[in-house]
Structure 1
């Protein structure tokens, strides 16, 4: 309610513009959520989300650690909750955990501190069917080709695994036209949920994103010849209100103490 007042007064010369601008900024600052000042705001993309939930809770229980305000958003894509879009809007975020290549782009854009980047885990692509349905063989490239062709409908994500499937894997298998005619890329919503709701008979995404979803059976990971390993990494956002705590949190995520939780989530803890 204060901003219209300040804007209207800009036209009056008797009040210095600098004073008006400062007052306007104070009014905006007063609307900032209180948790931004007393918590570490960390945003994770889906592939690391399950490990993130557990480890954020564990970290906050440590002596002198700030509580962690856990938030989630895709590493890429066109949805408003995608991490790059949120940073572009100027959201107050201390730590981002996301697909390594997407993080590298944020570093190149000058949004994230390159010196704080730590690779946390490697992620493998798996495929699933609705719970109780026959599970296709995925042990060889030819078996994967058959699985895609036999499925009446197919879903893949709009993040790293889905981009690989849509722009590389289907073409390598020689089935791009056939599968795209009956398949779709899913924005934001986990592919496992689409499969569980039987909106798709076959879906592929990072194993760590499929694993928490009820109502599906994971048929297996793509074979080595077709697999696309995606690293997940963390870094501190430039301008973080808590840079030292943010660095400490990332080191905790990458520690040996955290490796078991990372592995349970379906990821492979990164080995330097």
Structure 2
């Protein structure tokens, strides 16, 4: 059976997975490819990894369009994704109201699970927030860094630490069994990132790619986007 090849930020994996049955029923195509840190996915496209569609941050996809790797006219907003806190299912919630409370929560954790701090949207932001709070050096030894948010959350779920916490994009928290979304980052430390979808200039299956974009962004899928953790988008 034919497959649509995708390169996507991990933030969209849960939504894509939920829409895969409808996509396959209409097109007869499976969805194959990779989900991971957006910087890594963009570099894979630059290195000629086969892809029909990419789902990345708006800024990164715009750059790929400038590089003639994505079709500008096809780029469509999927929705905003917040970077948020996560706890193991069953652990006390760690919602915070301000930067001081966030600082306290992070300092009290004995393990902090995050995605790659150099290539992932949430990981880069976490590193920035730790510096902003003045605790980067204090918690450096407690950071548990993984290639992407989904892996970080699976490791958080399995952690034997006494007081672990995670920080990644809300969509990755929601889609991982064994962890719970525990609140957004407070004002001054928050991040909401627009994710967009676009067809690559080397797409072998552009028509099927366009259909997936319509599924991801259509008004009929507003409830699924919300359940997956996306904010806004087409309604």
Category of TM-score, reference length = shorter chain: 0.7 to 0.9
* Larger-gyration structure (1/2): 1
Moved over 4 A (4+): none
Change in 2 beyond 3 A, CA 1:253/1:131: closer
What's the secondary structure of 1:226's corresponding residue? coil
Look up the match of 1:255.
218
Q: Any unmatched runs of 5+ in structure 1? A: 1-34
In the alignment, the residues of structure 2 paired with residue 137 and residue 255 of structure 1 have an alpha-carbon distance, to the nearest angstrom, of: 32
Residue 145 of structure 1, CA deviation = 0.9
What's the secondary structure of 1:129's corresponding residue? strand
Q: 1:119 aligns with which of 77, 82, 91?
A: 77
Per the normalisation by structure 2, the TM-score is 0.87
Is residue 160 of structure 2 the alignment partner of residue 196 of structure 1?
Answer: no
What's the secondary structure of 2:180's corresponding residue? strand
Residue 55 of structure 1, CA deviation = 1.6
Is residue 140 of structure 2 the alignment partner of residue 140 of structure 1?
Answer: no
> What does residue range 1-272 of structure 1 map to in structure 2 within 5 Å?
35=1, 38-62=2-26, 65-77=27-39, 82-158=40-116, 159-166=120-127, 168-188=128-148, 190-198=151-159, 201-271=164-234
Residue 164 of structure 1, CA deviation = 0.8
In the alignment, the residues of structure 2 paired with residue 175 and residue 240 of structure 1 have an alpha-carbon distance, to the nearest angstrom, of: 45
Per the normalisation by structure 1, the TM-score is 0.76
How many residue pairs match? The answer is: 229
Residue 235 of structure 1, CA deviation = 0.4
What's the secondary structure of 2:187's corresponding residue? coil
Q: Deviations over 1:204-250 (max 9, x none)?
A: 00111011222223321112332100111100011212223322321
Change in 2 beyond 3 A, CA 1:232/1:243: same
Residue 199 of structure 1, CA deviation = 6.0
Q: Deviations over 1:105-135 (max 9, x none)?
A: 3223221112211110100111122232233
Between structures 1 and 2, the one with greater strand share: 2
In the alignment, the residues of structure 1 paired with residue 3 and residue 107 of structure 2 have an alpha-carbon distance, to the nearest angstrom, of: 49
